[in-house]
């Protein structure tokens, strides 16, 4: 108990004087304090009196019986003087300027360089080099919040204060460096926290009339960050009633379970695409070889009649960018309306091997743990994931835990990623050798006697057989194949085996191989051997790529499983589904996407409906181009005239995640609300409305008329989602399984048992990819791995239509300095990349982050043709293409003037 301005307040010892003042409702300005970062005590604005002494309230713990005074003559005089001194060093703005004027310090009596020579100072202190972040250090009060946010939230350590006394300045690298070339990753945490506007983002500087703020879920990656989307009217039109609404700014939701207010460059800034002039605003129908604008009625009639005409030879690719409700409708239309199980989604080209591998090893093909477990883990094994670029908010959390010494880190990756730089052990393997490396790790765990014998004997099968199988697969024996020194494998096994809470996170570097599913089984083996399931901070956790790839699979957008992973061949399930849908289910087995391409090439598949995927740019070229060209009917529902849409017979303009209601399911199985923040552009329609219209025209009887109705049907359909409804998803969603309306959701799977009972320990022999047959020093000396860079997302259709394009305007191919010298190539040169199957062109980057003999290329720009390089090889169980091992050679390319 203590007193604030004479009022008695209950406190606990963890509180500060500032907390106590706030609890008492007393106003104490605190410019350099924010609950999200550690206190710094730099600005001295929060000074209060206790007895005859002044204390910085933000950084002074409470003590019993303290009598705090927040207003007194002495404090008023102190604050006035402090305010005037602040004016001498900064052209104060924002909330700080308001506070200073309340203190009676609207200016300064003292001489100030900042105010007397602003133009000279501005030259060195204003930096507009970055497309999103603006620096005007003449406004900086040296409160250091930006530095602490950058260090403590993102872990990027961009800022440091340079100089002493009055000459102290915020720095971000060597003097003279433009900010855009600093280590900044544009997460925006600094601009969101800066109290003076010295650091601001362009979106905050806009002159606009704000109309509303809506909470929704990010539509980029599978982390599922919660956004506050501010929509308004901007520019000259802003007073007109018919002015067009647009996104003004996006903030993170401060108390959201997934991201606690933090965002990355995509979630915060990549919203310009929603009002981009390239948006499709009319249906297009190919007439005389040209895509021609037609009415919605004409387009929908055409699609319905021709899909029905080609019934028996149709297929559909649903979209992981779309909502659960839309994915559910899509597969229902395919199955009940068009009589086919030929329905798939882009999980086929990313994490289908995860689902297949985990299902065989554990019984459920989804993340075993919650993202909040990152705070509980004492070791991370990050395998085949460049997390800080592909899943930035999760990557930042992992990095923070490691930098604070709370967890060890093992990284398996052929590149020295940002996480690899801070890892305790980096296993820099040769591409395509995951299986021998993971077997060697299991060998070492057993040899070091780090196996959890109780867990293994009570919950797994096949330990003795596995131990015998692994006997010959020691780190020393596999070193020549993997390229990883045996001592590092022993060290990694020793760390993993000794950790109390080892948490695995894996990405496409594990799955996009011919033995992708089997690699995931071997990751499960490691966790099973050490008993890392069913508790906090452990498990096997795929980092889902697209925002709703988990949801698209949950909804049954795969040929062999219905919504909720129900088996369509089970007679009991069949009759239940047929009753619910009022239509017979097809009896044949469906085709995966690569098999649909095969069937199209041979004329067995004649119509394909693609919802929101640009397969020409993202799927292996040898399959796609020829297959699409053979189709009698290609329908594409899209935001832009993508490379795939350009080849279509019908194009239907759909909607972006900001423009519709529904739900997404993130990579930790969390179903979260998506809320409409603004209308689609006139002429475009919400995707669920388009699908309902097509279903109605296909004669499917139903009463669904809103996303909420659709979700009610999903909950009836799928036992794992039976307890989910929109009301229960407030505010932070629910993690499935949620079997009843009373169930609180399941952050951690497999607590007591696996769905398959005892988990089998898998014995997987390394079967080198056929791609290895092409690698020879003369023909194709480099192993190419493809992937993403931070500013862009997948085909880049949304991020390229924002200022992200300024940060990464081209795809770049990286090779090591030694390989650059070997091939006589220089940084920045234009190169032609050739594989046995195709060619691509890009700019060369020489990078010490990549091993000799390995190359890395992004695929965000259509003109690069990255996927034309890919071969025909697929994962043996899940048909996922082998994106992470392509034999290539490169040479300089001359550019036409």
Give min distance, CB of 505 to ligand FES, in A. 36
Give min distance, CB of 378 to ligand FES, in A. 33
Question: Residues binding ligand SF4: what is the number (CB under 6 A)?
Answer: 26
Residue 223 touches which of ligand SF4, ligand FES, none (CB < 5 to 8 A by kind)? ligand SF4
Residue 140 touches which of ligand SF4, ligand FES, none (CB < 5 to 8 A by kind)? ligand SF4
Residue of 225, 334, 407, 435 interacting with ligand SF4 (CB under 6 A): 225
Residue 58 touches which of ligand SF4, ligand FES, none (CB < 5 to 8 A by kind)? ligand FES
Residue of 55, 172, 220, 780 interacting with ligand SF4 (CB under 6 A): 220
Helices within 405-545 (DSSP H only):
418-421, 434-447, 453-459, 463-470, 475-482, 486-498, 508-511, 516-529
Give min distance, CB of 18 to ligand FES, in A. 7
By CB under 6 A, residue 557 contacts ligand FES: no
Cα–Cα dist 150/158, whole Å: 7
User: Token pair for residue 445?
Assistant: 């765990």
Quick one: which H or E segment has residue 624? helix 621-630
Q: What are the backbone dihedrals phi and psi of residue 288, each rounded to the nearest 5 degrees, phi first?
A: 50, 40
Q: What proportions of the chain, in percent to the nearest 5, are helix, strand and coil?
A: 35, 20, 45
**Alpha-carbon distances, residue 32 vs 35, 42, 171, 439 (angstroms):** 10, 7, 18, 51
By CB under 6 A, residue 266 contacts ligand SF4: yes
By CB under 6 A, residue 42 contacts ligand FES: yes
Within residues 157-176, the interface with ligand SF4 by CB under 6 A covers: 170
Spatial contact of 86 and 106, defined as CB atoms under 8 Å apart? no
User: Token pair for residue 222?
Assistant: 């599978």
Q: Give the interface segment with ligand FES, choosing from 38-46, 515-523, 575-583, 808-816 (CB under 6 A).
A: 38-46
Spatial contact of 843 and 592, defined as CB atoms under 8 Å apart? no
Q: How many CB atoms lie within 10 A of CB 165?
A: 5
User: Token pair for residue 45?
Assistant: 């604005």
By CB under 6 A, residue 41 contacts ligand FES: yes
In the complex with ligand FES, which residue's Cβ is closer, 30 or 193? 30
Give min distance, CB of 221 to ligand SF4, in A. 3
In the complex with ligand SF4, which residue's Cβ is closer, 79 or 266? 266
Cα–Cα dist 418/395, whole Å: 9
Q: What is the dihedral of CA 180, 401, 268, 29, to 10 degrees?
A: -90
Give min distance, CB of 31 to ligand FES, in A. 5
Q: How many residues does the chain have?
A: 897
Contacts of 777 (CB under 8 A, 6+ apart): none
By CB under 6 A, residue 45 contacts ligand SF4: no
Cα–Cα dist 782/818, whole Å: 12
The region that residue 37 occupies, defined by phi over 0 for left and psi between -120 and 50 for alpha, beta otherwise, is beta
By CB under 6 A, residue 391 contacts ligand SF4: yes
Q: Give the interface segment with ligand SF4, choosing from 220-228, 402-410, 468-476, 725-733 (CB under 6 A).
A: 220-228
CA 561 to chain centre: 26
Cα–Cα dist 818/365, whole Å: 41
Residue of 20, 26, 48, 58 interacting with ligand FES (CB under 6 A): 58
In the complex with ligand FES, which residue's Cβ is closer, 141 or 532? 141
In the complex with ligand SF4, which residue's Cβ is closer, 146 or 610? 146
Cα–Cα dist 246/279, whole Å: 14
In the complex with ligand FES, which residue's Cβ is closer, 58 or 624? 58
By CB under 6 A, residue 605 contacts ligand SF4: no
By CB under 6 A, residue 451 contacts ligand FES: no
Q: Give the interface segment with ligand SF4, choosing from 193-201, 339-347, 635-643, 732-740 (CB under 6 A).
A: 193-201
In the complex with ligand SF4, which residue's Cβ is closer, 144 or 670? 144
By CB under 6 A, residue 328 contacts ligand SF4: no
Spatial contact of 874 and 595, defined as CB atoms under 8 Å apart? no
Contacts of 472 (CB under 8 A, 6+ apart): none
Give min distance, CB of 541 to ligand SF4, in A. 15
> Which one, of 220, 225, 219, lies nearest residue 733 by Cα?
225
- Could you say which DSSP state residue 47 is in? E
Residue of 83, 224, 881, 887 interacting with ligand SF4 (CB under 6 A): 224
Give min distance, CB of 173 to ligand FES, in A. 26
3-state secondary structure labels for all residues of 815-875: ECHHHHHHCCCCCCCEEEEECCCCEEEEEEEECCCECCCEEEEECCCHHHCHHHHCCCCEC
> Which one, of 360, 484, 468, lies nearest residue 432 by Cα?
484
Question: Which position's Cβ is nearest ligand SF4?
Answer: 267
> Which one, of 508, 117, 513, lies nearest residue 347 by Cα?
508
In the complex with ligand FES, which residue's Cβ is closer, 96 or 396? 96
Spatial contact of 615 and 794, defined as CB atoms under 8 Å apart? no
By CB under 6 A, residue 56 contacts ligand FES: yes
In the complex with ligand FES, which residue's Cβ is closer, 56 or 807? 56
Residue 684 touches which of ligand FES, ligand SF4, none (CB < 5 to 8 A by kind)? none
In the complex with ligand FES, which residue's Cβ is closer, 68 or 528? 68
Contacts of 112 (CB under 8 A, 6+ apart): 87, 88, 89
By CB under 6 A, residue 825 contacts ligand SF4: no
By CB under 6 A, residue 146 contacts ligand FES: no
**Interaction mask 17-36, ligand FES, x per CB under 6 A:** -------------xxxx---
Q: Is 191 helix (H, G, I), strand (E, B) or coil?
A: helix
Residue 43 touches which of ligand FES, ligand SF4, none (CB < 5 to 8 A by kind)? ligand FES
In the complex with ligand SF4, which residue's Cβ is closer, 199 or 738? 199
Indicate if the alpha-carbon torsion angle 867, 871, 874, 875 is positive or negative.
Answer: negative
- Could you say which DSSP state residue 97 is in? H
By CB under 6 A, residue 140 contacts ligand SF4: yes
- Could you say which DSSP state residue 649 is in? S
Give min distance, CB of 43 to ligand SF4, in A. 8
Cα–Cα dist 1/21, whole Å: 12
Give min distance, CB of 150 to ligand SF4, in A. 9
Q: What are the backbone dihedrals phi and psi of residue 688, each rounded to the nearest 5 degrees, phi first?
A: -65, -30
3-state secondary structure labels for all residues of 38-67: CCCCCCCCCEEEECCEEEEHHHCECCCCCE
In the complex with ligand SF4, which residue's Cβ is closer, 171 or 586? 171
By CB under 6 A, residue 184 contacts ligand SF4: no
Residue of 33, 91, 142, 804 interacting with ligand SF4 (CB under 6 A): 142
In the complex with ligand FES, which residue's Cβ is closer, 148 or 348? 148
User: Token pair for residue 627?
Assistant: 């297959």
Residue of 9, 48, 223, 615 interacting with ligand SF4 (CB under 6 A): 223
Residue 196 touches which of ligand SF4, ligand FES, none (CB < 5 to 8 A by kind)? ligand SF4
In the complex with ligand SF4, which residue's Cβ is closer, 266 or 359? 266
By CB under 6 A, residue 115 contacts ligand FES: no
Quick one: which H or E segment has residue 359? helix 352-362
Residue 263 touches which of ligand FES, ligand SF4, none (CB < 5 to 8 A by kind)? ligand SF4
In the complex with ligand FES, which residue's Cβ is closer, 17 or 362? 17
Kindly list the residues in this chain that would bind ligand FES in the complex (CB under 6 A): 30-33, 41-46, 56, 58
Interface positions with ligand SF4 (CB under 6 A): 140-146, 170, 194, 196, 198-199, 218, 220-221, 223-225, 259, 263-264, 266-267, 391-393
């Amino acid at each position: 108990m203590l007193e604030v301005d004479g009022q008695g307040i209950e406190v606990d010892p963890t509180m500060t004087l500032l907390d106590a003042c706030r609890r008492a409702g007393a106003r104490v300005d605190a410019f350099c304090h924010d609950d999200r970062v550690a206190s710094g005590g730099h600005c001295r604005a929060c000074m209060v009196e206790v007895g005859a002494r002044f204390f910085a309230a933000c950084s002074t713990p409470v003590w019993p019986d303290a009598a705090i005074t927040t207003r007194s003559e002495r404090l008023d005089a102190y604050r006035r003087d402090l305010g005037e001194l602040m004016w001498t060093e900064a052209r104060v703005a924002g909330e700080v300027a308001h506070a200073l004027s309340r203190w009676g310090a609207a200016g300064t009596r003292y001489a100030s360089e900042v105010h007397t020579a602003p133009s000279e100072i501005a030259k060195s202190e204003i930096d507009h080099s970055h497309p999103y972040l603006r620096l005007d250090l003449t406004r900086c009060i040296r409160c250091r919040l930006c530095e602490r946010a950058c260090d403590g939230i993102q872990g990027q350590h961009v800022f440091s204060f340079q100089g002493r006394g009055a000459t102290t300045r915020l720095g971000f690298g060597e003097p003279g460096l433009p900010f855009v070339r600093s280590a900044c990753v544009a997460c925006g945490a600094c601009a969101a926290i800066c109290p003076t506007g010295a650091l601001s983002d362009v979106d905050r500087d806009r002159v606009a009339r704000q109309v509303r703020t809506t909470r929704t879920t990010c539509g980029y990656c599978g982390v599922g960050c919660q956004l506050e989307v501010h929509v308004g009217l901007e520019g000259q039109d802003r007073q007109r009633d018919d002015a067009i609404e647009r996104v003004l700014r996006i903030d993170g939701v401060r108390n959201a379970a997934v991201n606690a207010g933090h965002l990355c460059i995509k979630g915060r800034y990549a919203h310009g695409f929603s009002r981009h002039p390239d948006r499709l605003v009319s249906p297009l129908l190919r007439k005389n070889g040209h895509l021609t604008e037609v009415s919605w009625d004409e387009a929908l009639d055409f699609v319905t009649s021709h899909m029905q005409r080609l019934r028996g030879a149709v297929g559909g690719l649903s979209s992981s960018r779309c909502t659960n409700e839309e994915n559910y409708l899509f597969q229902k239309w395919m199955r009940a309306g068009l009589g086919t199980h030929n329905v798939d989604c882009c999980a086929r080209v990313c994490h289908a091997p995860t689902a297949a591998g985990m299902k065989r090893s554990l019984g459920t093909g989804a993340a075993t743990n919650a993202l909040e477990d990152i705070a509980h883990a004492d070791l991370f094994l990050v395998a085949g994931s460049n997390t800080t670029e592909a899943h930035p908010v999760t990557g930042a959390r992992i990095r923070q835990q490691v930098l604070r010494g709370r967890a060890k880190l093992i990284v398996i990756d052929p590149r020295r990623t940002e996480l690899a730089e801070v890892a305790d052990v980096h296993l820099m393997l040769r591409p395509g050798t995951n299986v021998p490396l993971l077997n060697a790790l299991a060998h070492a765990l057993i040899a070091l006697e780090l196996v959890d014998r109780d867990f293994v004997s009570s919950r797994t099968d096949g330990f003795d057989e596995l131990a015998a199988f692994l006997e010959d697969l020691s780190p020393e024996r596999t070193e020549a194949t993997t390229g990883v020194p045996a001592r590092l494998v022993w060290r990694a096994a020793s760390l993993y085996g000794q950790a109390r809470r080892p948490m695995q996170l894996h990405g496409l570097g594990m799955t996009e191989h011919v033995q992708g599913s089997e690699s995931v089984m071997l990751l499960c083996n490691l966790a099973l051997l050490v008993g890392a399931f069913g508790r906090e901070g452990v498990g096997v956790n795929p980092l889902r790529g697209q925002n709703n790839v988990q949801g698209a699979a949950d909804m049954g957008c795969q040929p062999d499983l219905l919504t909720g992973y129900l088996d369509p061949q089970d007679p009991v399930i069949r009759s239940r589904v047929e009753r619910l849908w009022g239509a017979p289910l097809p009896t044949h087995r469906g085709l995966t996407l690569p098999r649909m391409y095969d069937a199209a090439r041979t004329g067995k598949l004649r119509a394909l409906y693609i919802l929101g995927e640009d397969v020409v740019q993202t799927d292996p070229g040898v399959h796609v181009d020829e297959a699409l060209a053979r189709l009698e009917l290609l329908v594409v529902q899209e935001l832009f005239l993508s490379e795939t849409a350009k080849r279509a017979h019908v194009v239907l303009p759909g909607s972006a995640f900001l423009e519709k209601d529904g739900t997404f399911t993130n990579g930790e199985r969390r179903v979260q609300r998506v809320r409409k923040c603004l209308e689609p552009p006139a002429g475009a329609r919400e995707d669920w409305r388009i699908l309902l219209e097509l279903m109605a025209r296909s004669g499917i009887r139903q009463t669904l008329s809103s996303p909420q109705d659709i979700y009610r049907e999903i909950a009836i359909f799928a036992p794992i989602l039976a307890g989910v409804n929109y009301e229960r998803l407030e505010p932070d969603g629910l993690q499935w399984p949620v079997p009843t309306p009373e169930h609180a959701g399941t952050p951690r799977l497999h607590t007591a048992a696996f769905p398959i009972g005892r988990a089998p320990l898998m014995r997987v022999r390394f079967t080198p990819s056929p791609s290895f047959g092409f690698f020879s020093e003369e023909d194709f000396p480099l192993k190419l791995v493809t992937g993403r860079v931070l500013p862009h997302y997948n085909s880049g259709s949304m991020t390229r239509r924002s200022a992200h394009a300024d940060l990464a305007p081209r795809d770049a191919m990286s090779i090591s300095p030694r390989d650059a010298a070997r091939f006589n190539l220089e940084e920045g040169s234009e190169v032609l990349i050739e594989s046995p199957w195709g060619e691509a062109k890009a700019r060369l980057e020489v990078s010490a982050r990549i091993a000799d003999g390995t190359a890395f290329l992004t695929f965000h720009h259509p003109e690069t043709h990255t996927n034309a390089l890919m071969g025909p090889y697929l994962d043996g169980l899940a048909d996922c293409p082998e994106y992470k091992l392509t034999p290539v050679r490169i040479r300089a390319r001359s550019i036409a003037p």
